Structure 1
């Protein structure tokens, strides 16, 4: 009786091994996708952080210029190049 049970468990284990290998492939694939998504998220976050720093820099410049009472002029680059 015990030997029959052991034999059944061995057969069940043999049947599970291919399925486990397939599941492992799926898990590895999903982990790779997750890793790529996290890398993309980090790249976007770094770009957003850099843009925020630049925005803060120009806000600071604008505030300092305003305090000095200097009016900023917009220049039409295309017109200047043609002249």
Structure 2
């Protein structure tokens, strides 16, 4: 399972997320998507933790919390769906 973290400040780094989520358990992976054209963070991230119970504790504690002047959303991540990719011209 993975945790979706949304409504993040564009200034947030993987290290910032690690600092916050490590309070709830061992982090396996953090993915911070960036815009392909600008390289800028897209305002959300995914955090995968060692145990599902750790992810549940992080969701319970952090969903709706104010962090870096934003109210963040923390939910179980939905499985990725394969959308058709269109060639952009």
TM-score per shorter chain, which class?
Answer: under 0.3
More strand by share: 2
Q: Which has the higher contact order (CA 8 A, sep 6+)?
A: 2
Q: TM-score, normalised by structure 1?
A: 0.20
Q: TM-score, normalised by structure 2?
A: 0.20
Q: Which of structures 1 and 2 has the bigger CA Rg?
A: 1
More helix by share: 1
